[in-house]
A and B are shown apart, each in its own frame.
Chain A
């Protein structure tokens, strides 16, 4: 049963990922990406990462994709025309990279893992996923959490400045 669910999600993810890359119309690509995001969230749920699934939908699908669609509409883009010169090389290299990655994983040791388990951070299936993540986030990973907020601040300020009209022409 679980295998079937996994294969369903995985196949949709792969297909829509391919569609993102292959479709000419940018709006269609964005919509394909949206479908992919939902299925990734589903995958997360099967992996007992419910909090992350919801966050994925909220942030990725709800914020990032919407932003993309805003920009696409704003710039009123047209379809792309011919194939890129790097098509063949790119495809080839992508496949090679994938093959290498798989080979590496198969060749490598599979005993890693159990030593990584830390007493404080083992998952407790009895408590909720959200609570556990929250506890981890505000204790062990507090500093990165604060830094992340700083990153978001920088991004906000940067985005505002970059799109301010007249900043490239200098102060007038």
Chain B
């Protein structure tokens, strides 16, 4: 336990912020989804770190479930992207403006 848990928290924070920035500034929908994966990974790191430091396995079980959900989300997200591409031959998020007033 040389490495204090705060290091892991900081690491997790950095990766999460990078993922958030990625969601906000990339136009390619696939890259946006990848950034979401980054965010999920960051939380996983956090959970596992705390699970190790608190000696409680619940954290790891949580990661297990987060992983599952991430997988499901990717499947559906990519299916949506394919449907969108079929509809308008573009996966630039700027081209989908149906929510506009």
Contact = CB atoms under 8 A, between A and B. Distances in A.
Interface in B17-60: 17-22, 24-28, 30-31, 33-35, 37-38, 41, 44-45, 48-58, 60
Main secondary structure of the interface of A (DSSP, over half): helix
Given A17-B15, A49-B51, A102-B13, A64 B74 contact: yes
A55 B34 contact: no
A136 B51 CA distance: 14
Top 10 closest A-B pairs, CB basis?
A90-B24, A155-B72, A21-B22, A162-B79, A94-B21, A159-B79, A98-B17, A47-B52, A94-B17, A90-B25
Interface of A: 2-3, 6, 10, 13-14, 17-18, 20-21, 26, 29-30, 33, 36-37, 40, 43-44, 47-49, 51-52, 55-56, 59-60, 63-64, 67-68, 71-72, 74-75, 77, 80, 83-84, 86-87, 89-91, 93-95, 97-98, 101-102, 105-106, 113-114, 116-118, 121-123, 129, 132-133, 136-137, 141, 144, 148, 151-152, 154-156, 158-160, 162-163, 165, 168
